[in-house]
Structure 1
Amino acid sequence: MMKLHPKVIDLVLDRAERLLAALDHPELKLPPVIHIAGTNGKGSTQAMMRAGLEGAGKAVHAYTSPHLARFHERIRVAGDLISEEYLTEILDECYAANGGESITYFEITTCAAFLAFARQKADYTLLEVGLGGRVDATNVIDAPALTVITPVSLDHQQFLGETLPEIAGEKAGIIKRGVPCIVGPQEDSALEVIEAKAARLGAPLHVFGQHWHVSVERERLIFQDETGLLDLPMPALLGAHQVQNAGAAIAGLRVLGFDEAACAAAMTDATWPARMQRLKSGPLAQSAPNVELWLDGGHNASAAQAIADLLAALPERETHLICGMLNTKDVGGYMRPLAPHVTHLSAVSIPGEVNTLPSGVTADAARNVGIRASEAETVDQALEAIIVNAPHARVLICGSLYLAGHVLRSNVQS
């Protein structure tokens, strides 16, 4: 499939639409679709909505990207990760139907997910946008049941535009005529773009701070909208930013007509790897039994601010980063919010990644924002060095979902 990839990634819907037509339009045969876009929080919001829907007894298809350890994570068919045999079968079918035409990896695998979903009965389909929204391969759904736009910030500017309004315009491309849209916290310039697009299409908006509110009181999550107030457990996913994501998930469930029990399940039952995930088992954790070991795949300034806020809220402890990033990211923007909370950073290159930032460049970027830094060949080597000097430290492995995936694969108990 990779040999079919265009020489340049040009975001268009034509290739996906051509293949879906050849497959007899599986995108028209899906259960009601909830389409989620945004810069940060898409995956977490989807995970909470899935937990809520499943808590209400519904069967849910879910599509997400990228995967961390195995490709199968991207496609959940009626609640279960797609099997190796079924994945192979539908990829073969899509490859044959494509007839050797140019198509991206994401486009053909998105079509495969739609094919799998169309052939298995379920109550809802959760679709996470891959990149942007307007011309993302998932945006071939003309009449979803609901759209959700999580916080928009600067990321992927080479594809989506240099300014926040431009990027917000791409995300707002998932808004459909007459379809309700849940909007998470936004900068004013982004919200203006989203509101203008919704007004043109007559799409009812449910906007954070206007139509729904979420806060924390006495270690409980308080959600309020026009139909009343909910007093719920705190989200199982850690971090102040997850409160906002939880609010968007609850707002979506309420618009779809689900009750308080479903909203509570969204809080307590959601899981989402590599989002401030505490690693307590596996070879890596066992090699450092006294270290508090964390893993996070956030890779832009907004994600780093969310991590910084969580580090500030945790009990005080010497904190070290093991960091590897892609060369397409704003490394300084990522490092800056973390600097006040970090003792030292060990820079690594991401194994097997062509676009990895060299560890030396990552280390220099850390020093530029005031973080003491060194380089290491591997995550294991970095952790070993930290243990020598700070055997009871808090250690956060961070900077990229690709690094997080590498860690999760290598940390599997044999």
Structure 2
Amino acid sequence: MSEPASAALLARMMELHPSEIELSLDRTWRLLDALGNPQDKLPPVIHIAGTNGKGSTLAMIRAGLEAAGQRVHAYTSPHLVRFHERILLAGEEISEPALCALLERVLEANAGQSVTFFEATTCAAFAAFADTPADALLLEVGMGGRMDTTNVVETPRLTVITPVALDHQSFLGDTVPEIAGEKAGILKRRVPCIVARQQEAALEVIEARADRLGAPILAHGQHWHSWEERGRLVFQDETGLLDLPLPALSGPHQINNAGTALAALRELGLSEPACEAAVTQVRWSARMQRLTVGPLKVAAPEAEFWLDGGHNAHAAEAIAATLRTLPARPTHLVFALLNNRDPQSYLAPLSDLADSVTAVPIPDEPSAADPSALAEAARALGLPALEAPDVARAVSDIVQSQPQARILICGSLYQAGAVLRENG
């Protein structure tokens, strides 16, 4: 199948700046000005930052808003299968013709000047959102918050900070308080902020910035609570109590993400039916996603397949908590990671749950970690570890000895995207 025309335009954008990541807003402001400042013409914005849970929380808020009859834009990154996933216009992925026209418009406005890929594509998304009517825009931070390209909306309707943990230390800081300070950079004067369950050190930083800005805080443990009770999700805030089904997304950590989303929806004035829809109608790929179709399942019909794109220790802890809720079954990890990640910190929370690790490369990803290094990290934790040239071979090797194995493909959203292209 030939590549869509948008692929060539996206490739041109990749060449406009030599650095993959460079946190600055100067180039963004210049390009937005050349585009007519679309960031000033957006529907009400819900701006979401955090280390983990941003995507799941955004997806639940979206499900609730759409159940209430609202037209919702959404901006997320990275994509799993194709770039179009990043830009949802009134609930639908941007079309190929619309994306091509949009990218050509941005390239022309940029006039060959230096701009990073994320800056250029985010500015393109703002232009699309400004041109298409909607009731709300769910805007996910790319990295950090304070200097993130999305942080150009002067007065969002609401900000949300999901759990903060160590990640991207080379850009955001070496400690949780430093990283929390970057995330809290999305807070705006007098704009309410929903704060998920946090480490105390992170919460103190967020509260201090909110106090300086006069931004009302609605924080987990103070203003709202969420928990599981008798197979139900219970949410309570100052308005009252909600008794809801458990989230459609798997894992105990989704109770916390659901609470954050529900707190946001309550702040936005949504009804109980919309809140219930937020947790029951949500869909979000590669977050402890059960794979039940596709070539992998055909090749190993007795195996149980799970897919997760989380890439840091905090995500691995959530995966481990989910695995502990499942019936006992031999569990084998098919593991890939980018080379700027620490494999031992990721694998440590899973080391007492996994029977083996098979390290694989990430297809077409030059920044993928060497499988031999990943296998060595697993062995250092006492885990039996092998290498395979790809996911299919890893699965084949596992099921030869254990046809009914539980197989978790994990460690990278890029790997998850590749798996979904073949097995989604």
TM-score, reference length from structure 2: 0.96
Distance (whole Å) between structure 1 residues aligned to residue 29 and residue 294 of structure 2: 43
What are the equivalent positions in structure 2 for 1:52-67 lying under 5 Å apart?
A: 52-67=64-79
Deviation at 1:411, TM superposition (A): 2.2
Aligned to 1:4: 16
Aligned to 1:313: 325
Distance (whole Å) between structure 2 residues aligned to residue 352 and residue 10 of structure 1: 23
Equivalent pairs: percent with the same residue? Answer: 61
* Correspondent of 2:114 among 102, 111, 116: 102
Distance (whole Å) between structure 1 residues aligned to residue 382 and residue 65 of structure 2: 45
CA contact (8 A) 2:309 2:412 kept: yes
What are the equivalent positions in structure 2 for 1:230-241 lying under 5 Å apart?
A: 230-241=242-253
| SS of residue in 2 equivalent to 1:340 | coil
Distance (whole Å) between structure 2 residues aligned to residue 109 and residue 286 of structure 1: 37
Q: Aligned pair 1:303/2:315, yes or no?
A: yes
| SS of residue in 1 equivalent to 2:27 | helix
* Correspondent of 2:372 among 360, 384, 401: 360
Distance (whole Å) between structure 2 residues aligned to residue 256 and residue 390 of structure 1: 50
Aligned to 1:137: 149
Aligned to 2:6: none
Aligned to 1:22: 34
Letter in 2 for 1:56: A
Aligned to 1:152: 164
Deviation at 1:349, TM superposition (A): 1.1
* Correspondent of 1:83 among 62, 80, 95: 95
| SS of residue in 2 equivalent to 1:4 | coil
Q: Aligned pair 1:221/2:233, yes or no?
A: yes
Distance (whole Å) between structure 1 residues aligned to residue 120 and residue 417 of structure 2: 22
CA contact (8 A) 2:331 2:406 kept: yes
Aligned to 1:93: 105
Q: Deviations over 1:161-212 (max 9, x none)?
A: 1111110000000000000000001111111100000000000000000000
5+ residue gaps in structure 1?
none
Distance (whole Å) between structure 1 residues aligned to residue 124 and residue 199 of structure 2: 35
The 1:8/1:55 distance shift into structure 2, 3 A limit, reads closer
Letter in 2 for 1:250: L
Q: Aligned pair 1:268/2:277, yes or no?
A: no
Q: Deviations over 1:277-301 (max 9, x none)?
A: 0000111221111000010000100
Over the residues paired in the alignment, what is the CA RMSD in angstroms?
0.8
* Correspondent of 1:387 among 369, 394, 399: 399
Deviation at 1:214, TM superposition (A): 0.3
Q: Deviations over 1:204-231 (max 9, x none)?
A: 0000000000011111100000110000
Distance (whole Å) between structure 1 residues aligned to residue 338 and residue 19 of structure 2: 20
Distance (whole Å) between structure 1 residues aligned to residue 334 and residue 19 of structure 2: 34
Aligned to 1:283: 295
Deviation at 1:6, TM superposition (A): 3.6
Aligned to 1:32: 44
Distance (whole Å) between structure 2 residues aligned to residue 365 and residue 401 of structure 1: 20
Deviation at 1:9, TM superposition (A): 2.9
Deviation at 1:359, TM superposition (A): 0.4
Distance (whole Å) between structure 1 residues aligned to residue 152 and residue 394 of structure 2: 44
Distance (whole Å) between structure 2 residues aligned to residue 230 and residue 17 of structure 1: 42
Q: Aligned pair 1:399/2:411, yes or no?
A: yes
Deviation at 1:407, TM superposition (A): 0.7
Distance (whole Å) between structure 2 residues aligned to residue 75 and residue 2 of structure 1: 18
CA contact (8 A) 2:291 2:423 kept: no
Aligned to 1:74: 86
Aligned to 1:203: 215
Distance (whole Å) between structure 2 residues aligned to residue 284 and residue 363 of structure 1: 22
Q: Deviations over 1:112-151 (max 9, x none)?
A: 1111111111000000000000010000001000000000
Aligned residues: 412
Letter in 1 for 2:396: E
Q: Aligned pair 1:411/2:403, yes or no?
A: no
Q: Deviations over 1:91-124 (max 9, x none)?
A: 1000100011100100110011111111111000
Deviation at 1:8, TM superposition (A): 6.3
CA contact (8 A) 2:357 2:386 kept: yes
Distance (whole Å) between structure 1 residues aligned to residue 21 and residue 397 of structure 2: 40
Q: Aligned pair 1:46/2:50, yes or no?
A: no
Deviation at 1:3, TM superposition (A): 1.2
Letter in 2 for 1:282: G
Letter in 2 for 1:258: L
Distance (whole Å) between structure 2 residues aligned to residue 344 and residue 368 of structure 1: 13
Distance (whole Å) between structure 2 residues aligned to residue 23 and residue 230 of structure 1: 44
Letter in 2 for 1:330: D
Distance (whole Å) between structure 1 residues aligned to residue 404 and residue 19 of structure 2: 48
CA contact (8 A) 2:360 2:387 kept: yes
Distance (whole Å) between structure 2 residues aligned to residue 79 and residue 10 of structure 1: 31
* Correspondent of 2:335 among 309, 323, 329: 323
Letter in 2 for 1:103: V
CA contact (8 A) 2:20 2:116 kept: no
Q: Deviations over 1:247-306 (max 9, x none)?
A: 000000000111111100100111110000000011122111100001000010000000
Aligned to 1:181: 193
Distance (whole Å) between structure 2 residues aligned to residue 109 and residue 2 of structure 1: 10
Q: Aligned pair 1:374/2:386, yes or no?
A: yes
* Correspondent of 2:346 among 325, 334, 339: 334
CA contact (8 A) 2:19 2:116 kept: no
Distance (whole Å) between structure 1 residues aligned to residue 335 and residue 58 of structure 2: 26
